[in-house]
Amino acid sequence: MPNLSPDSPPEQRIGEIIRRLRREHPDACCALVHDNAYELLVATVLSAQCTDERVNKVTPQLFSRYPDARTMAEADRSDIEAAIRSTGFYRNKAKHIQEASQIIAYDYAGEVPADMDQLTQLPGVARKTANVVLGVAYDIADGVVVDTHVKRLSNRLGLTENSNPNKIEVDLMALVPREDWIDISHLLIFHGRRVCNARRPDCPNCVLNDICPSAEL
């Protein structure tokens, strides 16, 4: 391994970044509690502008009442809204969840499709949600999940100069080996929550501080 520094090109640093983050966060995984692809899809839609912790408090009762796409599709919209109200933007989320559930129930026989194009045609499902479902539920590396933590850390680590999530995803897909596309998001998210937070990153105790161009800032 060459001598690495914060100024080393990202393609030289990325392997060491992944190695260190795996060692630091061996428990990195999807934080949304779910039992199947459908529950994960719904939970991910609910997680927009909301913490995973809050979603995990809402979903047990929600899935107990509506355990599959058909029951959600046939539910009273106002009941869904009431059940997810605390996650914020509950009217739009309820609309998207129910409309997506109708398509899954009636067009896909209740099974969430394992295909990027089909997923992103579902109401309320953009690439981020589709990547979560594909990677976590189906172990399919079709892209890289870019949430607020991944966006922040990718910029701080000098892995991208873009601020648009779609462009960041393209940059990470070009930089990160495909076999690490799923894991890199979990690793960056856990590191962002535990060490490199938005307001006060803990640079002195960061395992990446000697190869991070933002550490001295």
Residue 68: predicted pLDDT: 98
Mean pLDDT of 19-23: 98
CA distances (Å), 5 to each of 22, 103, 132, 209, 211, in order? 20, 50, 32, 10, 5
Of the residues 68, 117, 147, 180, only one is catalytic, namely: 147
Q: How confident is the model at residue 217 (pLDDT cuts 50, 70, 90)?
A: low
Query: Is there a catalytic annotation at residue 128?
Result: yes
Mean pLDDT of the chain: 97
**Residue 34: which H helix or E strand, with range?**
none
156-170 tens-digit pLDDT: 999 999 999 999 999
Mean pLDDT of 30-38: 98
Quote helix, strand, coil % in the chain, to nearest 5. 60, 0, 40
The amino acid present at 109, given as its one-letter code, is A
Domain layout of the chain by residue ranges: 10-29+143-205, 37-138
> Is CATH 1.10.1670.10 what the domain over 10-29+143-205 is classified as, yes or no?
yes
CA atoms within 13 A on the CB side of 149: 18
Q: What's the whole-model pTM score?
A: 0.95
Collapsed DSSP state (helix, strand, coil) of residue 47? coil
Instruction: Kindly tell me if the per-residue pLDDT of 94 is higher than 70.
Output: yes
Domain 37-138 classification at class level: mainly alpha
Distance between CA atoms of residues 86 and 208, nearest Å: 36
Instruction: Kindly tell me if the per-residue pLDDT of 2 is higher than 80.
Output: no
Mean pLDDT of 24-35: 98
Q: Which residues contact 5 (CB under 8 A, 6 or more apart)?
A: 210, 211
Classify the C-alpha dihedral 198-169-184-161 as positive or negative: negative
Residue 188: predicted pLDDT: 98
What percentage of the chain has pLDDT greater than the value 90? 98
Q: How confident is the model at residue 106 (pLDDT cuts 50, 70, 90)?
A: very high
At residue 128's C-alpha, the angle toward residues 205 and 37, to 5°, is 105
DSSP state of 157: T
Distance between CA atoms of residues 63 and 6, nearest Å: 46
The amino acid present at 146, given as its one-letter code, is V
Of the residues 107, 117, 128, 151, only one is catalytic, namely: 128
Instruction: Kindly tell me if the per-residue pLDDT of 24 is higher than 90.
Output: yes
Query: Is there a catalytic annotation at residue 167?
Result: no
